[in-house]
Amino acid sequence: MFEQFDISLPSLELKAALQHKIDSKTKPVGALGELESIAFQLGAIQNSLTPDVSKPKMIVFAADHGVVDQGISLFPQEVTPQMVMNFLMGGAAVSVFCQQHGVPLRVVDVGVKSSIDDHPLLGQRKVAFGSKDFSQQAAMTTQELARTINAGVDEADLAIDAGCNLLMFGEMGIGNTCVSSCLMSAMTGLSASQCSGRGTGLDDAGVSHKARVIEASIQRAEEETGISAAKWGPQTLAEQLGGFEIIAMASAMLQAAHRQTAFVVDGFICTVAFLFAQKVEPNVRHYAVFAHQSNEKAHRLLLEQLKAEPILSLDLRLGEGSGAILAYPLIQSATVFLNQMASFESAGVSGQS
C-alpha cells in the first residue's frame, strides 16, 4: 500500500561548502541560531548553495470524522464545510496570512460530510462523506485508504510540477484533534490521557471523556485485528483509526520528500500526520521543517519524542496551517541571509582570530 514511497537522503555533496558559506557570513559562528540550521537543511535538500523558497504553496486538507457521534467535540460537523467555504472566500486565519505573504492557498476536500461547490481554490478529491466512527468499526476501508493516499500524492505532484519549492500543510475537520490523539496513542504507546487535550475548548470532563473514547477505540481495533496496536503496520493503523485529511496530508509529505522538496509541519494534527509518515518511511524526517509548538499539551510531548525543534512557540491552537504560514517569513529569512548576506571576505571585515 505504501511501497511507492522511496525517499533518498538529502545530498551531502555540498555539506562542507554549505557550512563554510554559513560560517563565513559577517557574524560569529552560530549567531543566527536556528536560521543557520534551516539554511543548511534547505541547501542540502535542494543540493544548492543558494536554496530558494520563493515559490511556496499552502495545501489544507479537509474531512469529517464519524467519531464525532461520541460527543468528543464542542462544535457540530456543519462547521467543517462552513470553514472550508471561509477558506475559499478568504476569511480564515490561514487565508489572510497566505494573502499577507503572497502564498497560494489550495483547499482539498478528501472527506467533508457534505458536497461543496466547485471553486478555483478547491481540490475535489472526496473519498467518502466522512470516515466511520472508529469507536464502533474501522474508520475506512482498504479501497478508501488507497484513494486517500492517491489524493495526497496527486496534490503534492500538482504543486511540485507547477514549480513549488516549499510545501506547507494544514487541515480542517471537526473532531480531528481526537483522531490525532488516538493515532498518537496507538503509535507511541503513550496513554490516551497523555495524548488528549482540549482541542477547540473542551473542559476537564470533556477531555476525560475524549480519552475514554480513545481507549475504547484502540481496544476495539485490537480485538478486531487480533494484534496489539504496538505491532500494527501503517495500513492497519490508517484503516482502523485514520482520518482522510490526516492520511492524505501524510501521503503528501511522503511524496514531497520522494521528490526532494522541503515541507513545513504545522501544529499537533499535522505533526501526528508527520509521525505517521515517518512510520511509513523514516527518511521523510530530513525534509521536514517544524513550524511551531502549539498550545495542545500532547504536541509538546510529541515534539519531544521526535526530537524536533520548532521555529515558533506562540500558544497557537488553531490548526489550518496557521503556524506554518506564520513561520514562512523566518524560513525565507534563512535563505535570504545565506544568499545575500556579506561574507567577511566580501565585506572586508576581519574575521575571528
Note the Cα 164 to chain centre separation in Å. Answer: 17
At 248-266, the pLDDT tens digits run 999 999 999 999 999 999 9
> What domains lie within the chain, and their CATH numbers?
56-336 (3.40.50.10210)
Residues with Cβ within 8 Å of residue 20, at least 6 apart in sequence = none
pLDDT at 190 over 80: yes
pLDDT at 244 over 80: yes
- Tell me the pLDDT band of 4, cut-offs 50, 70 and 90: confident
Q: What is the pLDDT of residue 202?
A: 86
At 72-127, the pLDDT tens digits run 998 999 999 999 999 999 999 999 999 999 999 999 999 999 999 999 999 999 99
Mean pLDDT value across the chain: 96
At 36-45, the pLDDT tens digits run 999 999 999 9
pLDDT at 295 over 80: yes
Judged by average pLDDT, the poorest of 210-224, 279-293, 339-353 is 339-353
State the catalytic residues: 320
pLDDT at 242 over 80: yes
Q: What ranges in 50-92 are assigned the alpha helix state H? A: 79-89
Distances (CA, A) of 280 to 8, 151, 177, 267: 14, 17, 21, 20
Distance, in Å, from the CA atom of 139 to the CA atom of 284, rounded to the nearest integer, reads 25
Mean pLDDT across 218-236? 98
pLDDT at 304 over 80: yes
Mean pLDDT across 42-69? 98
Q: What is the DSSP letter of 92?
A: S
pLDDT at 350 over 90: no
The pTM of the full predicted model, rounded to 2 decimals, is 0.96
Q: What is the pLDDT of residue 247?
A: 98
Cα dihedral sign, 123-126-130-135: negative
- Return the C-alpha torsion angle 10, 13, 16, 19, nearest 10: -40
Distance, in Å, from the CA atom of 220 to the CA atom of 245, rounded to the nearest integer, reads 22
- Tell me the pLDDT band of 353, cut-offs 50, 70 and 90: low
